[in-house]
Structure 1
Amino acid sequence: MTILVTGADGYIGWPAALRIANRTDERVLLVDNFARREWVEEVGAVSATPVASIDERLAAAEETLGITNMSFAELDLTDRDAVDELLQVHEPETIVHAAAQPSAPYSQINGERANYTQHNNMQATRNLLWGLEENDMTDTHVIETTTTGVYGAPEFPIPEGGATMENQGERDDVPFPAMAGSWYHLTKSHDAANLRLANKQFDIPISDVRTAITYGTETEETREDDRLKTRFDFDYYFGTVTHRFCAQAVAGYPVTVYGKGEQRKPFVSLEDAVEGLAQLALGDADDRPDDLTVYNQVTRAISIVEIAETIAEVGSRHELDVDVEHFENPRDEDETHKMEIEYDRYDDLIGGQSQSFEEGVADIFETLTRYSDTIESHEDRFLPGVLSED
């Protein structure tokens, strides 16, 4: 049996691959084209944590964790012929598809980046799905990390997957409408629709894992060796809000809340995100899905102001003097929207949240204070509008 993990050099993909390989004797094949490293360099940013080469990572996994069942293939998933060859040679029974250009702000820079993001993300997923169909591998379980961003920001509680529609006295369950708010998020809305179509037309078993905003620096495996650390982006384009705020605090820079900051968004810790993917990838053969299941990969919803205040409080324990300042919001969003989202199915999958948000922030500070020089030398990347011309 082979488990294929795409985007395996990425923030979630790398620790997920480690978790999966550490819990099984089956072969785990990692696939990536290192594009994330190039995108971050393109905007003049850098990971706060040093990111080892893939060879160093694999060596550390074997030396530190005794993992000998991981291998790596450098491959661009938008190349259909390359994907066909990959599937034909390795015949994976499970695919954890975590490869994507994941930044909404990056996709919004200009038309070139919007086009690139949509082509890159959707072409990769289509190639995998059609590759399975055309190579007679439709029993392969496809687990894709989409995003809770596909739901947009509705005023009603968000279900875990579909919705119930009623018209003229008749009711039916339908896919949740694509209400994404960026060119990136819309790629995942299209992916969700294509996953559903592939399940209906090809009978491919699908787990659509709608990942919330993820925070954290470590998992159980990455703590064991610095060479195993995953990346930590903190710039405006690739740093999520919690990561950017924590990096600002470490650099002595004001925590920049855009607008009122009262909007509440879904979050999940890196540890809990990785655990869910591992549970799905390593489930018993008898438990493998034969349909499409949606998981809201969420453990709680948090307001932006609460994030900033928590970071200020936890930062003080690390002898950091954290100021919270409000700036004009460059994004078109409701600054008071209180998102409600259901996540019972995902909560049951991982057995409940393993780490509170406060503990996660403390964990981030524990790591970032070691790399304060890197953060301080790139503090101009906290705000939008600064791009590399190279």
Structure 2
Amino acid sequence: MTILITGADGYVGWPTALRIASRTDDRVLLVDNFARREWVDEVGSTSATTVAPIKTRLDAAEETHGLTNLSFVEGDLTNKDFVDELLAVHEPDTIIHTAAQPSAPYSQINGERANYTQHNNLQATRNLLWGLEEHDLTDTHFIETTTTGVYGAPEFPIPEGGATMENEGEQDEVPFPAMAGSWYHLTKSHDAANMRLAHQQFNIPISDVRTAIVYGTQTEETRADDRLNTRFDFDYYFGTVAHRFAAQAVAGYPVTVYGKGEQRKPFISLEDTVEGLAQLALIDPDERPDNHVVYNQTTRAISIVEIANTIADVGTEHGLDVAVEHFENPRDEDETHKMEIEHGQYDDLIGEQAQDFEAGIGDVFETLTNHADVIEAHEDRFLPGVLEDRLED
């Protein structure tokens, strides 16, 4: 059997590949075109951790963990000919699709990057779904990491997938409306709709894993050898809020909270993210779901100001003097929104949470304090506008 992981050079894809390969003798085939490295370089930033070349990573996985079932193919999933050949030759039994341009701020820079993001993300997913149909692989379990960002910020508790709509006394279960707030997040709303359609038309078993904001630097497998590091982005475009805050603390900057910062966002540790994807991928074929399931891959909602204060507290434990400062919010958002999001199906899948927010941030500081020089050399990338200035020059 073959498990195909797309975006396998990425922040989530790489440690997921290691976790799965360590738990099965099946072949784990990695696919990537290394575009994430190019996007981050384009905005003038870099990963705080050293991201080894893919061959070095694979060699380290074999030497450190004895993993001989990992292999790699370089290619662009927006190229249908490449996808067709990939599926025809390798006939995967499971696909974990983590490949995407994942940055909302990057997608918002200008029309060119909005177009690129939508073409890249949607074309890749469509090619894979249609490829499964056209190559008679509709029993393949298709697992995609979309995002909880498809839900937007409604004022009611967010269900795990669908919603009940009522009109004139009649009601029905319908897909949750696309309330995404960026050109990137909207690609995942479209992907969710396309996956639902692929299940209806082709009967492909689909797991739509709506992943929350992921934090952390290490998993059980990556911490064994520096060559196995996953990437850690901290700039405005590709660094998530918790990672940017931690990097600011390491560089000696105050943690910058926009406005009140009382709005809550869904979060999950890298360790728990990887574990959930691995458990989905390794479901016994005889017990594999044959339907379309939505999982809200999150463990809790955390306010921005709580994130900042936690980072200040944990940073102090690591010998840093961390201040939290509030600045005028450049974004049009509700600074007090209390998001509630259901995740019962995901909890049933993963069991108990492996790593809480405080422990995950502790991991981040243990990693970043060893790479402070990299962060300080790129500290101007904490704020928006850097890429726009580079484009104007």
The alignment's TM-score, normalised by the length of structure 1, stands at 0.99
Give the letter for the 1:105 counterpart. P
Pairing 1:100-139 to 2, within 5 Å after superposition: 100-139=100-139
Q: Which residue of 2 aligns with 1:165?
A: 165
CA displacement at 1:166 relative to structure 2: 0.9
The equivalences for 1:1-390 within 5 A come to 1-387=1-387, 388-389=390-391
Counterpart-to-counterpart distance in 2, 1:92 and 1:86: 9
Structure 2: gaps of 5 or more residues: none
1:296 Cα offset (Å): 0.2
Q: Secondary structure at the match of 1:96?
A: strand
Q: Which amino acid aligns with 1:54?
A: I
SS at 1:230 equivalent: coil
* Deviation per residue, 1:274-313 (Å, 9 max, x gap): 0000000001112211110000000000000000000001
Greater mean deviation of Cα atoms: 342-351 or 105-114: 342-351
CA displacement 1:297-332 (0-9 Å, x = unmatched): 000000000000000011111110001111222222
Deviations 1:89-131 (A, max 9, x none): 0000000000000000000000000000000000000000000
The Cα of 1:260 is off from its aligned counterpart by: 1.2
Mean Cα deviation higher: 165-174 or 262-271? 165-174
Aligned residues: 390
Question: Which stretch shows the higher mean deviation, 319-328 or 180-189?
Answer: 319-328
TM-score where L is the length of structure 2: 0.98
Q: Secondary structure at the match of 2:172?
A: strand
- For 1:125 and 1:328, the matched residues in 2 are separated by 38
Q: Which amino acid aligns with 1:359?
A: A
3-state SS of paired residue (1:117) = helix
Code of the residue aligned with 1:299 in structure 2: it is T
For structure 1, the 5+ residue unaligned runs are: none
Letter in 2 for 1:343: H
Q: Write the distance in 1 (CA, Å) between the matches of 2:378 and 2:325.
A: 19
Distance 2:58 2:274 in 1: 18
3-state SS in 1 of match to 2:386: coil
Distance 2:286 2:91 in 1: 19
Percent identity of equivalent pairs: 81
What SS does the aligned partner of 2:179 have?
A: coil
Distance 2:185 2:344 in 1: 23
2:245 & 2:114 partners in 1: Cα distance? 26
Letter in 2 for 1:56: T
- 2:139 partner letter: D
User: Matched residues in 1 for 2:75 and 2:361: separation?
Assistant: 34
Q: For 1:168-192, what per-residue CA distance to the aligned partner results, in whole angstroms no more than 9, with x for missing partners? A: 1111100000000000000000000
C-alpha RMSD over aligned residues: 0.8
Distance in 2, matches of 1:282 and 1:97, equals: 15
Q: For residues 13 and 257 of structure 1, what CA distance do their matches in structure 2 show? A: 29
